[in-house]
Amino acid sequence: MFLSLAKLYADPAAGGTREQVLLLHPEQLSRWLEEAWSGARLVPELPLGAAPSQAPFLGDDAIIGALDLPTQIPPAFLAPSGIDPPDTEFWSPVLGPPTTGIGLVWHHLSYAYLIEATGVAEIFLEVVRRLVVGETLGPLSIDGTRWLRATEELFYRDPPLFSIGGVVSEARPEARISRRNAYWRMFGMDLPHPAVSPRISGGEQPWKTDVGAGVNTDFRQKWAELLRQVWIGLVNSANTSGTNPTDPAYLTLLCQSLRDMFNNRRKGGLLAREEFAYVTLLSWFHLTLQTDTPIVRDLKADATSPAERLTKIAQRVGMTPAARSREMFELAEPMSSLLRAIELGSFDDPTAASVLFDDATALGAEMRNVVNLWQSATGERIKDVQVDTGAVAGSQPLRIPAPAPAGFAPVGSPTPALATNGHRP
């Protein structure tokens, strides 16, 4: 969500900068999140492909209104957030977010998963802890202190009563475990680094308890097959002679399979609020690392990419991020946009699906990038040509990949190097 707010500040009409978001008062940011939840009714701005003409799919169209505050009759009892880009020092009575321009739908849960897989949440928790209990990281600038206060207030304390982001309670007391639960249910994947919690002992995995059959354990298999078929299409996009194994109809079938899988987890608006809260948290840290923001400079972590900044910050507190953090940061937004589009049914016919491997379009170029980043981040050989030494088979698989066997639990990444991210070496 904070990436959307940063876009509003950086809009030429506003004349501000993205990092100004990090200087806002936490009360304003908290109130703005309530306004942004209401703003999800706006058509989203999807950077990947054509923008859809309908609202984002969250399981049930009524979930936004059901959990939103009722419309206030003037004079309003609750004040607006007062956020009016590019100002950060003055409160504005204008109710936000705007009803036109940049869409304010939050990223897909996959965005939160990929950003958290870098280890950023655990690393910044240790940074905040050290900054508030001692001086091992040195003094902060005024703007760095503003970031510290906002970060602690928004994410490392109990949320305000009745907040839309209040997904911590006696029923689910630890946010890091709740996030893993959401990732497990939606993708059938764990974070690659171990969970650190006083509530966990002996290798327990409480985020997998009582989930029933509601786990998409075959997501990764279908997603990898989708990328593989897109790559086949990209390789053969300029093929004008000879056999062309590209099959848009099969791509459509895969997209529909993924869409149905997500639909099952979102029935009745399930996970919409959790997705909102977790994307909010991870987008704050992503925004913090996108440039040399005040807190980054205070921590002497100036660099040219989010991954390099995270590595330098982690070193300050004796921790190690994921070995493939760069790929995860770069993959998070385009993968989110693609999955949002799949959920909306944007590729539910072969003609639309064929755009995914059209090298002459922006979407085709973006899909090539997604394939490259996923293969590099996970080590999964998407581009390898499968050699069949037996009977000659058709160019396409005969069926959609079968569901995983009972008890099979795919992990977040097959790459052993990822096991060290987000905790002390």
Q: Name the DSSP letter for residue 85.
A: T
Give the chain's largest Cα–Cα span.
77
pLDDT 10s digits, 187-242 = 999 999 988 776 776 678 889 989 988 999 999 999 999 999 999 999 988 777 77
pLDDT band at 76 (very low <50, low <70, confident <90, very high): low
In this predicted structure, what is the pLDDT of residue 239? 76
Q: What backbone phi and psi angles, to 5 degrees, belong to 320?
A: -130, 125
Q: Nearest Cα to 121, choosing from 171, 68, 195?
A: 195
Residue 293, pLDDT > 50, answer yes
More confident residue, 341 or 103: 341
Residue 324, pLDDT > 90, answer yes
Pairwise CA distance, residues 302 & 308, whole Å:
8
In this predicted structure, what is the pLDDT of residue 405? 52
Pairwise CA distance, residues 275 & 365, whole Å:
28
Pairwise CA distance, residues 281 & 265, whole Å:
21
pLDDT, the chain, mean: 84
Print burial letters for 176-203: b (CB count within 10 Å at least 16), e (below 16): bbbbbbbbbbbbbbbbbbebeeeebeee
In this predicted structure, what is the pLDDT of residue 82? 73
pLDDT band at 413 (very low <50, low <70, confident <90, very high): very low
Sketch the domain layout of the chain as residue ranges.
Answer: 110-402+415-425
Quick check: helix, strand or coil at residue 423?
Answer: strand
Mean pLDDT, residues 249-266 taken together? 96
With tokens 């209990």, the residue in question is: 133
Q: Name the DSSP letter for residue 23.
A: G
- Residue 125, burial from CB neighbour count under 10 angstroms (0-12, 13-18, 19+): middle
Pairwise CA distance, residues 371 & 367, whole Å:
6
Q: Nearest Cα to 223, choosing from 364, 44, 375?
A: 375
**Does a cis peptide bond (omega within 30 degrees of 0) precede residue 97?**
yes
pLDDT 10s digits, 142-179 = 999 999 999 999 999 887 888 888 898 889 889 999 99
Query: Over pLDDT 70: what percentage of the chain?
Result: 80
Least confident stretch, 20-29, 67-76, 225-234, 400-409: 400-409
In this predicted structure, what is the pLDDT of residue 423? 54
Least confident stretch, 20-29, 203-212, 361-370: 203-212
Q: Nearest Cα to 281, choosing from 113, 144, 131, 412?
A: 113
